[in-house]
Chain A
Amino acid sequence: NAGVTQTPKFQVLKTGQSMTLQCAQDMNHNSMYWYRQDPGMGLRLIYYSASEGTTDKGEVPNGYNVSRLNKREFSLRLESAAPSQTSVYFCASSLRTGGTEAFFGQGTRLTVV
């Protein structure tokens, strides 16, 4: 049982480059989330998708876009990477919107130089 799978695990980008972080879950969950984790700041919500076909902004959405491709997949795109976007990115899913038990992927460590 894979749970939540994120790709890639590590990435280095130059300032201004673009990339898409991929996330897929195999638990038939309705809701999916993207968080970023910076030193000393815990996890901050970037975007979330309450259900297939819907996406909403979180606490720190600027510089990001998302796509809920289908029920399984939720991708995060950086159109023009900036050093401030250097972080560890986590995708998560939960059975229902606002479910307290969210399942997290292993994370993507992104460095923008």
Chain B
Amino acid sequence: GESVGLHLPTLSVQEGDNSIINCAYSNSASDYFIWYKQESGKGPQFIIDIRSNMDKRQGQRVTVLLNKTVKHLSLQIAATQPGDSAVYFCAEFSMDTGRRALTFGSGTRLQVQP
């Protein structure tokens, strides 16, 4: 069953196109930024992380960009496939706070059109 809300921003792309999912963050003291993918009826799954002293990191078909000046994080997915359809969450972690756990954003739904 559907686990995620009905009012998420949605990005619709054609299969084979590149996707860019954006996230704005507020905590300047975050040490890491992370992207998770959640498919319908499942728990979130780790995609990629980036340390705050970096501005770009690449994985398999994915690239994360970090712009600390404007507090913006993006996830780029190359050659988007139907299996990429999911909700994508950005998350952050700060070692300075007493809370040693991830803080999640509200998510973006990616729909891949065949």
Residues of A at under 8 Å CB distance from B? 4, 31, 33, 35, 37-45, 48, 50, 56, 58-59, 88, 90, 92, 97-98, 100-107, 109
Contact = CB atoms under 8 A, between A and B. Distances in A.
A35 B38 CA distance: 14
Interface residues of B, number: 30
6 contacts: A31-B101, A45-B102, A48-B99, A48-B101, A92-B43, A98-B102
Interface in B37-84: 41-46, 49
B25 interface: no
Contacts of B105: 42
Given A33-B101, A90-B43, A42 B89 contact: yes
A66 B101 CA distance: 16
B100 A31 contact: yes
B100 A39 contact: no
Contacts of B5: 38-41
A55 to B, nearest CB: 12
Closest 3 CB pairs of A and B: A39-B5, A104-B43, A40-B5
